[in-house]
Structure 1
Amino acid sequence: MNSLNNPSPNQRDKAMSEEQFNQVIEAILAGKYSWACVLILRFAGYNPLHYIPYRTYNRLMKDNDRGEKNKSHYLGKCDNIRQKVS
């Protein structure tokens, strides 16, 4: 049970790539908390449809496909937050 609470360094490194982490942060900064949850589930290897309704998932996918075009707007905010945390 301790291994679940204290993952090894190798497990932490494989949890999420930096690009994936940035996508989750961008979604949170944009106020898209449901989309951030979908991303986290996908990046962790889970099927979001096992956890959220089909119609909700489809709406999120539709809404966020065009959101990828505005992605660069939030990259600057991510960099600002990292600088404050560091």
Structure 2
Amino acid sequence: MTQNINDDQTQADWKINTKQIEPITEAIIAGKYSWACVLILRFLGYNPLHYMPYRTYNRLTKNN
């Protein structure tokens, strides 16, 4: 079974703009990988609480 995905479809799915990439890269450079994941999930329109425990999310938002 094969799936045909053209470039237009994959580019349309990308929702993160350049202003949003900046804090993600800053978090990665600072070694805050969990915070970068939270930012990516938020910018893509997902609820980070669906992917991590509440206590972890709460700690990350307080620290950042």
Q: TM-score range by the shorter chain?
A: 0.7 to 0.9
Unaligned runs of 5+ in 2: none
d(CA) in 1 for partners of 2:59, 2:26:
18
CA distance in 1, matches of 2:52, 2:33: 13
Of Structure 1 and Structure 2, which has the larger fraction of its residues in helix? 1
CA distance in 1, matches of 2:23, 2:4: 30
Instruction: Report the counterpart of residue 11 of structure 1 in structure 2.
Output: 12
Aligned-pair identity in percent equals 61
Task: Tell me the residue number matched to 2:26.
Answer: 26
Corresponding pairs, count: 61
Moved over 3 A (4+): none
- What is the root-mean-square deviation of aligned Cα atoms in Å? 1.7
Matched, 1:56 2:27: no
Deviation of residue 7 (structure 1)? 4.2
Shift in Å, 1:42 = 0.4
Q: Which has the higher contact order (CA 8 A, sep 6+)?
A: 1
Structure 1 residue 2: Cα displacement: 2.4
Q: TM-score, normalised by structure 2?
A: 0.83
